[in-house]
Chain A
């Protein structure tokens, strides 16, 4: 599988495998000292061990999903959403990212630079005046969040089934695992075997993206099948078919308004916010 999605990776693709028993920072937790020295020489160590995250090409027009995520064009917005960084509250409200403001705390999500975090980036710690202990990570350690009793790892926050060792330490394996998971969700969707549109709404607007039964306006991409797959990636489902009536139940999700608080938005809205349409 090729990885054209991540055209400009600062680390050489061959260095995607980050784990090294010789990595200096692996010993840091044991020492219990946050050494400024390691921060200073971070780039040096990253260059050697390849622990940097893949970076989205700044020439945004070149971002594409050619060949590496199959039907799953939403892999990239999911990866951005799953690995979003917190920014300091002082980020101007009228900045180009103002529409991404989220949460009552006034913190915002960044869309610039290294948005694919397989590993905890240094800037994550640098920019924040304070972070909750459970949100803390160490630069270079795998990007890790808790979702209930489950632990999610890496760019795709692989949660269930649990990430393998390879998927925790290798961003390429992590993306492959995420795409495989998306394919499983695509197959499990009721759209993969039902061929009727009876009972379905004409269209659903998710953050300015119109989804329809056949994906008409999205060139056949923004289908209800895709929307259901995005929803299922985070658990649950968007649409359910009633096989004894031969028609669809009404959508199981009621979307809040687009300008709602971050924590009240539906998962599909939070993902579609990161589709290129929103920041190009």
Chain B
């Protein structure tokens, strides 16, 4: 009897342990730099091919994931050079990338996810005409959309094209009185919308147009918690690439090691911002490691064809450990929602 009881206890403890690990049994969609798309089980590290996007001498420029108007989990991607846009339903019966059709002479810039209208939002440009941010919904219908309804991890769209993509220091000072003194210290510099998730908005302060030779550039970022309105101003010696994930913002540092206007080199310095925090968490990893996804407990990095994960928290971070080797370089990872549409 005692044996059965101890066995039951052990089983219960094992179940609790499984439950305690929030990453356990999570699935991710892995998107390769050249369009390979896989489904990966985090617990077993097993992968399963989904689809391959054939990009002619091009690579993925940006990608977002979200539900489409029929509630189906959809991946939206855009190529880096030609700005060709595609969508994929990873769990549909037919797993094939479909091109988002443009009108004649038109092309899309950037690909954001419009949460309100449930579709991809793009700047639809025709030759050199200015265009609005619109959401493409099935049947080629287009709806003018608002940037506040859109989410994007990072984007290659020139932000002047997006309403409120650039804001003056004065506008920002009015919106965030807590940082008024900092905004007024450099009144001529504009603030650029760097990324947005459902919970966080990130801004980068634009660089001054002219710099004295040997002048030191400082990068300044503002992270805003969209729910509570809390904000955190962060100064960085590195130039930062900002990635705004659902619950965490990550800044990958790039430094001009050989002086101003010399090529940027990744420094390996990463900063993590959690909503509501007053300070960022700083970590240093191998400079070749590129962030591909972060949730509040684990950061995922790609280095060559290997994937690494590193535990993180609001107080610090651990050491990256390799957990998967693939035959392509990962560009971005997306967690699959528990309820697969």
Cross-interface CB contact of B81 among A148, A232, A243, cutoff 8 Å: A232
Residues 181-220 of chain B, each 1 if its beta carbon lies under 8 Å from chain A, else 0: 0000000001010100000000010110100000000000
Q: Which of A184, A235, A250 contacts B57 (CB 8 A)?
A: A235
Contact indicator B80/A237 (Cβ below 8 Å): yes
Whether the pair B57, A243 counts as a contact (CB closer than 8 A) is: no
Q: Is A193 engaged at the interface, CB distance under 8 Å to the other chain?
A: yes
Instruction: Report chain A residues within 8 Å CB of B194.
Output: 244
Interface string of A139-156 (1 = CB under 8 A from B): 000000000111000000
Check A250 against B161 for contact (C-beta < 8 Å): no
Looking at A148, A237, A246, A250, which has the most chain B CB atoms within 10 Å of its CB? A246
Q: Is the CB of B81 within 8 A of A237?
A: yes
Among B54, B158, B239, B264, the residue within 8 A (CB) of A243 is B158
Q: Do B209 and A198 touch (CB < 8 A)?
A: yes
A241 CA to B97 CA, complexed, in Å? 27
A198 pairs with B207, CB closer than 8 A: yes
Task: Report whether B107 and A243 are in contact in the complex, using a CB–CB cutoff of 8 Å.
Answer: no
B128 on interface, CB distance cutoff 8 Å: yes
Asked whether any CB of chain B lies closer than 8 Å to the CB of A165, the reply is no
Within 8 A of B (CB), among A160-174: 160
| Cβ contacts B45-60/A at 8 Å (1 or 0 each) | 0000000001011100
A188 on the B face (CB < 8 A): yes
Q: Are B204 and A244 in contact (CB under 8 A)?
A: yes
Closest chain B residue to A267, Cβ basis: B57
Task: Given the known inter-chain contacts A232-B81, A237-B80, A243-B159, please indicate yes or no for A199 contacting B261, CB distance below 8 A.
Answer: yes
Task: Kindly list chain A residues whose C-beta atoms are within 8 Å of the C-beta of B56.
Answer: 148, 150, 159-160, 235
Q: What separation, in Å, do the CA atoms of A187 and B156 have in the docked complex?
A: 15
- Whether a CB of chain A sits under 8 angstroms from the CB of B155 is yes
A221 to B43, CA, bound (A): 57
Let me know if B264 and A234 touch, CB within 8 A.
no
Chain A CB within 10 Å, residue with most, of B57, B161, B241: B57
Contact B57 A249 (CB under 8 A): no
Please pick, from A196, A241, A244, the residue contacting B209 in the complex, using a CB distance under 8 A: A196
A187 to B57 Cα, complex, angstroms: 18
Contacts of A188 in B (CB 8 A): 81-83, 107
Known A-B contacts A198-B209, A235-B56; the reply to A250 vs B157 at CB < 8 A is no
Whole-angstrom CA separation of A190 from B54 in the bound complex: 23
**Contact residues of A between 227 and 280, Cβ < 8 Å to B:** 232, 234-237, 240-241, 243-247, 249-250
- B338 contacts which chain A residues (CB < 8 A)? none
Shortest CB distance B308–A (Å):
25
Instruction: Give A111 Cβ to nearest chain B Cβ, in Å.
Output: 26
Query: CB-nearest residue of chain A relative to B56?
Result: A160
Interface string of B114-130 (1 = CB under 8 A from A): 00000000000101100
Number of interface residues of B (CB under 8 A): 33
A194 within 8 A of B: yes
A22 to chain B, nearest CB (A): 35
Tell yes or no: A2 within 8 A of B by CB.
no
B242 at interface by CB-CB < 8 Å: yes
How far is A148 from B242 in the complex, measured between Cα atoms in Å? 35
Tell me how far the C-beta of A115 lies from the nearest C-beta in chain B, rounded to whole angstroms: 25
Which of chain A's residues has its CB closest to B189's CB?
A: A246
User: Contacting B242 at CB < 8 Å: which of A160, A190, A196, A244?
Assistant: A244
Q: A243 vs B194: C-alpha distance in the bound complex, in angstroms?
A: 8
Supposing A187-B128, A243-B157, A243-B158 touch, asked if A235 and B192 sit within 8 A by C-beta, the answer is: no
Known contacts being A244-B154, A245-B204, is A192 close to B239, with CB within 8 Å?
A: no
Is B337 part of the contact surface with A, judged by Cβ < 8 Å? no
A198-220 with Cβ < 8 A to chain B: 198-199
Q: Contacts of A247 on B, CB cut-off 8 Å?
A: 207
Residue of A159, A196, A243 with most chain B CB atoms under a 10 A cut-off: A243
Output the nearest chain A residue to B203 by Cβ-Cβ distance.
A244
Q: For A187, give its contact among B127, B209, B261 (CB under 8 Å).
A: B127
**Chain B residue at smallest Cβ distance from A184:** B107
Question: In the assembly, what is the distance between CA of A245 and CA of B220, in Å?
Answer: 10
A-B residue pairs in contact (CB < 8 Å), sample of 19: A149-B54, A184-B82, A185-B82, A187-B107, A190-B158, A192-B128, A193-B109, A193-B161, A232-B81, A235-B56, A236-B57, A236-B81, A241-B156, A243-B159, A244-B154, A244-B242, A246-B206, A247-B207, A249-B264
Q: Given A160-B56, A235-B81, A246-B206, output 9 extra A-B contacts at Cβ < 8 Å.
A: A149-B54, A184-B107, A187-B127, A194-B158, A196-B209, A235-B57, A243-B158, A243-B192, A245-B204
**The 10 A-B residue pairs with the shortest CB-CB distance in the complex, in nearest-first order:** A235-B57, A237-B81, A250-B263, A160-B56, A246-B206, A244-B194, A244-B204, A243-B158, A193-B158, A244-B192
Give A contacts to B, CB under 8 Å. 148-150, 159-160, 184-185, 187-188, 190, 192-194, 196, 198-199, 232, 234-237, 240-241, 243-247, 249-250
